[in-house]
Amino acid sequence: MSTIELLRREWTAFRRPGRLIALVAAALAVIAPGLLLTLDNHASCPGPCPATPVAGDGSVVSDTFWFLHRDLGREGSITVRMTSMTGTITYPPPRHDRIVSGLVPWAKAGIIVKDGMRQGSRYAALMMTGSHGVRFQHDYRNDVAGDVSARSPRWLRLSRSGDTITGFESADGRRWHTVASATLDGLPDTVQVGLFAASPGDLTLRGAIAEVRFTQAVGVFDNVTVEGGATGTWDSDPVGEMNHTDWEKYHNASGAVVKDGVITISGTGDIGPLGEEGTPGVDSLLTGLPVALIIMVVVAARHGTRAAASRRSVVARALVVAGAGFATGLVAVGTVLAAGLARLGGNGVVVASLPVPTGARVILGLAAVLALCAVVAYGLGVSLRRRWSAVLVGVTLVALPCAVTALPLLPDAVSDWLLRLTPAAGFAVKQTLVEYPQVTAHYAASAGYFPLPWWAGLTVLCAYAVLSLLIAVGRGQPEKTDWR
């Protein structure tokens, strides 16, 4: 019998009504929860909704800080001496019952050149940070270290020459060291230059649950000089919203105070590549994926316990099962992502951007993951020969790690190892979030981060599938015509 005829025969044997219904149920388990999420997810606020910061590339970013600013032309510079940097952290661990003085590691205060006051506009900034010394950052994702051991007082300078912004630092105001330069293509003739302060939330973990608390940074400056191409007067404004918390209302409002040549800037928020408020994305639309995986594992494991077959038939059945899993995943994931993201956008909800190559990788990758997981489960069925034993082992090995690591049920270290060593590692293909050193966040599987890159996770799953299939082939009956 030719290979094509063998595959056709095994497909005919596989496509029983019960199995086809199960595959449809698996697809609906992915599609239905994802689309139901979009029905009640609308942008709604008591008043006008604040704009979500979106950078020029369409990505959602953090862009909230207090800004004392004035105009700067195409050639010019700002020089300041930062004399001190202090801050406040509300309700830190371990008791969560005190307000203390202190700075979170990526609190920042310094000088910045920005393309206007719109959140998400291009910028370059030179700053002191809470624990990482002097940094030059631009356009949200880019971070260059200066003197990481620097402490106040510190001299800072930003110069502009056309579209090029260069940052300098100095311990004494005489000997200057170049930190970095950035070219911000398309800057207008007039930009905003000035002093700023920001402080992201204090991240702590209660078990595997992330909690973020309000913080504030205060930078004190003197010897402020703006040279070349600068016009107008100083203005003091927030970029983004602040002064809503009780601390700001009753203790120290964010803002700028100028007295006797000394400028004090108080601010909260952050300037960086991740929005502080989570935005719906790929993970939020794929909550039904563990259920679909369980259904697929049960179908494949039960199919593997059919009557003993030749080795060629074992391989043919595995290919049929893999094809069914791939088709199910392709339809389910492709439908829910395309329809769900479009629906959220239509509801006025800002969603995390999904470039076409990344979207294709997620859809095709998850379809391949379902196919490979089905092969693993099928191989278990052939090897164990007992229907419910194969189902139990398959669900425990393949589906359970995927389900428990998607929720904050286990310590992060345990989840990380499960996603390195079990077939669930393959689900790294759906990661669309990026870990940034300059952003403090909960980088855990329950928050959408995987310990392995997508290709490495897929390699781990492929190894399980190959091993499972080899063992299953070894249990098959030999025949003279094998592998023709």
pLDDT digits over 101-140, tens only?
999 999 999 999 999 999 999 999 999 999 999 999 999 9
Is the same domain home to 100 and 121? yes
Side chain identity at 131, as an amino acid letter?
A: S
Q: Is 223 helix (H, G, I), strand (E, B) or coil?
A: strand
The model's pLDDT over 230-278, given as tens digits with 9 standing for 90+, comes to 778 899 999 999 999 989 999 999 999 999 999 999 999 999 997 544 5
* Cis peptide bond prior to 238, omega within 30° of 0: no
Mean residue pLDDT across the chain: 89
Is the same domain home to 188 and 288? no
Pick from 96-110, 152-166, 296-310: least confident: 296-310
Averaged pLDDT, 290-312? 88
Residue that finishes a domain, picked among 229, 256, 272: 272
Is the same domain home to 84 and 10? no
Helix axes 289-304, 356-384, angle to 10 degrees: 30
* DSSP states along 161-204: ETTEEEEEEESSSSS-EEEEEEE-TT--SSEEEEEEEE---EEE
Query: Which domain, by its residues, includes 300?
Result: 3-40+278-475
Confidence of residue 349 (pLDDT cuts 50, 70, 90): low
71: pLDDT strictly greater than 90: yes
Helix axes 387-394, 356-384, angle to 10 degrees: 150
Averaged pLDDT, 409-432? 92
419: pLDDT strictly greater than 70: yes
Does 292 map to a domain?
Answer: yes
Is the same domain home to 217 and 248? yes
For residues 211 and 79, the model is more confident at 79
Confidence of residue 483 (pLDDT cuts 50, 70, 90): very low
Is the same domain home to 447 and 348? yes
Confidence of residue 361 (pLDDT cuts 50, 70, 90): very high
Give me the pLDDT at residue 354, please.
77
Is the same domain home to 93 and 31? no
Is the same domain home to 150 and 172? yes
For residues 39 and 316, the model is more confident at 316
Does 52 map to a domain?
Answer: no
Does 484 map to a domain?
Answer: no
- Domain CATH number, residue 250: 2.60.120
Is the same domain home to 266 and 287? no
Residue that finishes a domain, picked among 252, 272, 292: 272
Number of domains composing the chain: 2
Does 121 map to a domain?
Answer: yes
Residue that finishes a domain, picked among 237, 254, 272: 272
Closest CA to 254 of 197, 193, 195, 192: 197
- Give the percent of the chain with pLDDT over 90: 63
424: pLDDT strictly greater than 80: yes
373: pLDDT strictly greater than 90: yes
Tokens of 53: 């910061």
Averaged pLDDT, 407-421? 90
Does 56 map to a domain?
Answer: no
Is the same domain home to 285 and 268? no
